[in-house]
Amino acid sequence: MHVGPNDKCITWMVQATRVKVNAGRMHVGVGRSRRLGLIMCRMAPACGNEAFFHAVCALILRGVRGTRGVPWVTAFLEANLGLLAFGFDALCSQLVDGYIAESLIFECPTEFGHNEAFHGGLSGGHFIKALAKKMARDGLYKSACAWGDIFLKVLSCHGHELTDDEIIYLSVSVKGTLVLACRPRGFLRASCYNQMDIARFGVSVLVEVYGAIAPPYGEKLHCHFASLQSKGQAKEQKADMLSFGVQSAEDMLLLVNELSQRATFLSPMVNDELLLALCKATVATALVHLCEVRQLLQAFGAEVICRVLESPCKWRKPVMEALALLQVKGTARECHAVTVTRVAIRSMGIVVPRKELRRGIDTCQAREFLLGVAAAGLSPKALLIGITEWRAMYIGLLTLSACLMKTAKSNVAKVQILEAKPFAAIMSLARSKGIKTQPYKKGKRVTVTKKEIVVTVAFPGLDALE
């Protein structure tokens, strides 16, 4: 095995001599150090370690999603970045073990994830526990390598302008690859809505956290996102978009501007200056808003919602309290729009008609209805700050990206300082840390090299790989 510094990465790169699989551009291999007895897996993705680390952290946070789980995972990754540098599989194993220990104090088994409708079964602990399976780890690794190509461009050039093809690639690369949960009958992988939502998340990360520039929203992106917005209801979603006056990418951008101007209900509730940048509408939030308004009409009917919009003074206080609770709790069993609107309906004492008696909105009133629901605060996700899981992931990724860049410099300095020491001093330091400098192999002593000892001393996380 050759161990050497990789000047393009944040730390060292290990290349295994025995490679079981060479999956295209990714070096997916397993090697063993004959002297140290360390198993090292998946060391050098083609995109480079630094870009890979940023991408894998983003995907893990998106897989967890929950406002309860994301802060814990952020703290775990921050404390184990050295382990990630030399053992992707070992990191996943430690993550699973850590989650199992943490879950013992949960009041609810799904507390770790994004518990909104079916999302609860595809996030949080379901995502983490799936990483105990090799196939799920393979999927995460391959997805992170694919995303790493784009992260590398953004990290190499601040202000990199993304292209339509790059954004669609974020979606296509996780389809059928990234495992979101494990069931008795098999794995649940990202597809349709989830692959599109993960891609939108990736774009938001690259733009909001890493300073990339989003491309002009054109018909190519519009067709891709709109066709995947609603799970199993793509036709209904497209029909709703037409009825609400969104027939093209240009109409979508107009809707984004109108939502940014009128949906200001959450801004006074934001106390953190860091989060003020999220008090805006985007194409992603506009698509979510369209979906949530459709669910509102299905749940209550247009007549009931119009009555609610006519008398905001009767429900303003309980709805704002519900919004504040959502900002803290993060999740609800129903979509956020249905949750807060139900509070308003109960405050007014309105009886919701049976499903067969509910009607939709007239086409001539549809646009104003769409904007009115957002302006009243009945659709929190019309703004980026209202997507509670994104807010948690945004804060987590700001922390991890800063930590990764800081680690890049400290790891290089740490290795250089150790390499400058005499070999005897390095051996003494290794023994003081309990590292066997002359391990046995088949009853015979073997001598370690200076580089192998430096790697082991510099990155204590490798101890978990023994």
Q: What is the DSSP letter of 209?
A: I
Query: What are 274's two structure tokens?
Result: 């860091």
Say how far residue 335 (Cα) sits from the centre of its chain. 19
Long-range contacts, 356-359 (Cβ 8 Å, 24+): 357/301, 358/297, 358/298, 358/300, 358/301, 358/302, 358/303, 358/304, 359/301, 359/302, 359/303
pLDDT at position 66 is 83
Q: Which residues are CB-contacts of 315 (< 8 A; sequence separation ≥ 6)?
A: 308, 343, 344, 345, 347, 348
Instruction: Report the b/e string of 412-430 with b at 16+ CB within 10 A.
Output: bebbeebeeeeeeebbebb
Closest CA to 462 of 29, 44, 73, 32: 32
Note the pLDDT of residue 104. 82
pLDDT of residue 308: 92
How far is residue 138's CA from residue 133's CA, in Å, rounded to a whole number? 9
Distance, C-alpha 330 to centroid of its chain:
15
User: Taking a C-beta distance cutoff of 8 angstroms, is the pair 229, 193 a contact?
Assistant: yes
Q: What is the mean pLDDT of each run of 10 residues along the chain (466 residues)?
A: 33 31 33 35 51 92 89 90 72 90 76 74 89 93 93 88 94 94 90 88 92 90 77 60 82 91 71 76 88 88 91 87 73 79 92 83 83 89 84 90 77 71 78 66 59 62 35
Instruction: Kindly write down the DSSP assignment for every residue of 289-325, as one continuous string.
Output: HHHHHHHHHHHH-HHHHHHHHH-GGGTHHHHHHHHHH
Residue-level pLDDT at 142 = 93
Instruction: Name the pTM for this structure.
Output: 0.76
Query: What pLDDT sits at residue 143?
Result: 95
- Count CA within 13 A, CB hemisphere, residue 177: 20
Helices (H), 160-218: 164-172, 192-204
